[in-house]
Amino acid sequence: MPTDAASNLPPVLRPEAPPVHSLGDLAARFGGEVRGDAADVRLTGLTLATADLRAGEAFVAIRGVNRHGAEFAAAAAEKGAVAVITDAAGADIAARAGLPIVVVDDPRAALGDLSAWVYGTGPGDDIPLLFGTTGTNGKTSVSHLLEGILNQLGVVTGLSSTAERHIAGEVIVSRLTTPEASEFHALLALMRERGVEAVAVEVSAQALSRHRVDGLLFDVAGFTNLSHDHLDDYADMDEYFEAKLALFRPDRARRAVISLDSAPGADVAARSEIPFVTVVTPAIAADPDADADWTVVIDDERQDGTAFTLTARDGRSLTTVVPVIGRHMAANAGLAIVMLLEGGYAWDDLSAALGGGRIDAYLPGRTQRVSGDRGPAVYVDFGHSPDAFEKTLAAVRHVTPGRVLMLVGADGDRDATKRHDMGRTAVEGSDVLVITDHHPRFEDPDSIRATLIDGARRARPDAEIHEYSPPERAIVEAVKLVGDGDAILWAGPGHQDYRDVRGTRAPYSARELARRALAEAGWPVPEPTWPVPYPPDRIIASDPLRPVD
């Protein structure tokens, strides 16, 4: 499998035997104006980036914030591009590259439909079942739970999440929460080649707004919740909500399952344009008395998982265990089970696979325990919003006999409006708070930490708050502050194996750093059970597909 080593990013995956199309047929189908000789041009794929272009593909050049992609048409030609697809302004720029050009009004908006046609992955094509999950928190967890349950049913699965892409048991680290449309359709075509029968997809608001899931029709769409996040991309919460709502239209999905645990769930249900059913978890719902088609009742919470019973309005019920702590994780599992039912999987099969047992799923970086049986329990989590902090801290508190320490930083160059609330929620749910760095990107990390501390101090002026930088030191100091029976929740890094500092993605694993800190403090540390991190000299994931441990 080719890699994209130049960009230090995971490779873009292509089908091994892509269909071949005429450039003239493409132009005719999509109403494009052809400039140059397209008579004998054949293409095997599409891409937005010259860094991962393969010979025989068309280069789709779109206007960026500062530059037009057409400026890179000559580089695309050198790498074997057979054509350029762009707008009128881009066509003038790309002309000197000497490639035939197809001019469309808005190449970004057309990319999904173009890709679906090129790869044969649109509505009506022979593709796997598609399960798409959106919401502020829980998207990744639901996606991995869907995959785990499907595997227990004997289904060959694919997955696309913030954490990873999976193809019939092989895995590669992800670039974006939802890949670009050309990348996603190519990935779906490869999954079809590998015999994948069903795919779980994490669908971000940005993916819907930026056309990344155009050309796809999900068999079932799921909604988890909506809370404060991404106001660096959206003007306000109303605009953010509208972006999510787009998934619940007939051009995006056939059916839906909507959680009523957050107040916006009822709004999604009221405005959904497709058939839907609802699910509620009274223990965490904004309205515990919400009338739903399915109910998730928490039976038991312990360090090795959360037991729950899923009950239908008609009386059917199923009791099982999700293998992570937290009532919100049981809610995610209930949503996943109902999504599978709506996708056509039989109740009896699900009951046989899960009833009385547990869901066999690996959730990378989701309240993931990295510590041993003695000493402080240390959990590494990907949560990076106030709502996620609140739910995860409550879960850790419930299974911790001693004190709870929260270790947290915040993303730079991302939604800064939530940082005060992140500090407030972190200090309100913990006994000790340690503030450190996360991905500062191009922001001043001192300023980011100061904002988090200010939010925490305003909420609890007398709280025990410490500040350490960098995080390599912070986790060592955090372990010194706790003892046997206490817990540390390290929120933010989760599964990620890098830190972004001024545009450089440096090798970094919070899970491994936590294990080392525990070992240095004299506490026993078990062997890791997650897939091993990528080697430091490969940065993050310029590797071929590797098997899941």
Q: Which pLDDT score is estimated for 347?
A: 98
CB atoms within 10 A of CB 525: 18
Give the residue-averaged pLDDT of 470-494.
94
Give the residue-averaged pLDDT of 482-508.
88
Q: Which pLDDT score is estimated for 174?
A: 55
CB atoms within 10 A of CB 512: 16
Q: What is the DSSP letter of 493?
A: -
Q: Answer whether residue 250 shows pLDDT above 70.
A: yes
Under the phi-then-psi rule, with left for phi > 0, alpha for psi from -120 to 50, and beta for the rest, what region is 7?
Answer: alpha
Q: Answer whether residue 537 shows pLDDT above 70.
A: no
Q: What pLDDT digit, counting tens, does each position of 12-61 carry?
A: 789 999 999 999 999 999 999 999 998 899 999 999 989 889 999 999 99
Residue 345 CA to residue 157 CA, distance in Å, equals 14
Tokens 């808005």 identify what position?
106
CB atoms within 10 A of CB 304: 11
Q: Answer whether residue 133 shows pLDDT above 70.
A: yes
Q: Answer whether residue 193 shows pLDDT above 90.
A: yes
One-letter amino acid for residue 78 of the chain = E
Q: Which pLDDT score is estimated for 3?
A: 33
User: Please, are residues 195 and 33 in contact by the beta-carbon 8 Å criterion?
Assistant: no
Rounded CA Rg of the chain:
24
Scored b (16 or more CB within 10 A) or e, 20-30 reads ebebbebbeee
What domains appear along the chain, each with residue ranges and CATH number? 20-119 (3.40.1390.10), 129-354 (3.40.1190.10), 368-530 (3.90.190.20)
Residue 128 CA to residue 410 CA, distance in Å, equals 37
Give the bridge partners for 159, in sequence order. 166, 200
**Closest CA relative to residue 261, chosen from 307, 299, 296, 221:** 296
Residue 296 exposed, middle or buried by CB count within 10 Å (0-12, 13-18, 19+): buried
Q: Backbone phi, then psi, for 170, in 5-degree steps?
A: -105, 155
Give the residue-averaged pLDDT of 327-348.
97
Q: Which pLDDT score is estimated for 435?
A: 96
Q: Which pLDDT score is estimated for 500?
A: 87
Q: Answer whether residue 288 shows pLDDT above 90.
A: yes
Quickly state the pLDDT bin for 348 (edges 50, 70, 90): very high
Quickly state the pLDDT bin for 192 (edges 50, 70, 90): very high
The tokens describing 475, both together, are: 């986790």
Quickly state the pLDDT bin for 440 (edges 50, 70, 90): confident
Quickly state the pLDDT bin for 549 (edges 50, 70, 90): very low
Q: What is the mean pLDDT of the chain?
A: 89
User: Please, are residues 278 and 262 in contact by the beta-carbon 8 Å criterion?
Assistant: no
Please state the pTM of the whole predicted model: 0.81
Q: What pLDDT digit, counting tens, does each position of 203-216 carry?
A: 988 899 888 999 99
Residue 266 CA to residue 541 CA, distance in Å, equals 40
Q: Answer whether residue 176 shows pLDDT above 60.
A: no
Quickly state the pLDDT bin for 495 (edges 50, 70, 90): confident
Residue 218 CA to residue 240 CA, distance in Å, equals 21
User: Which whole-number Å values give the CA distances from 355 to 152, 259, 418, in the listed order?
Assistant: 12, 22, 40
Residue 17 CA to residue 26 CA, distance in Å, equals 19
Residue 59 CA to residue 46 CA, distance in Å, equals 6
Q: Which pLDDT score is estimated for 121?
A: 97
Tokens 């190449």 identify what position?
107
Our CA angle for 141, 323, 321, nearest 5°, is 110
CB atoms within 10 A of CB 507: 16
Our CA angle for 512, 326, 523, nearest 5°, is 35
What's the 3-state SS for 263-322?
Answer: CHHHHHHHHCCCCEEEEECCCCCCCCCCCCCEEEEEEEEECCEEEEEEEECCCCEEEEEE
| Helix H or strand E segment including 159 | strand 157-160
What's the gap between Cα 384 and its chain centre?
13
User: Please, are residues 375 and 524 in contact by the beta-carbon 8 Å criterion?
Assistant: yes
Q: Which pLDDT score is estimated for 529?
A: 60
Scored b (16 or more CB within 10 A) or e, 309-339 reads bbbbeeeeebbbbbbbbbbbbbbbbbbbbbb
Instruction: Please report how many Cα atoms fall inside a 13 Å half-sphere around the Cα of residue 545, on the Cβ side.
Output: 16
Q: What is the DSSP letter of 4?
A: B
- DSSP for 96-145 reads GG---EEE-S-HHHHHHHHHHHHHT-STTSS--EEEEEESSSSHHHHHHH
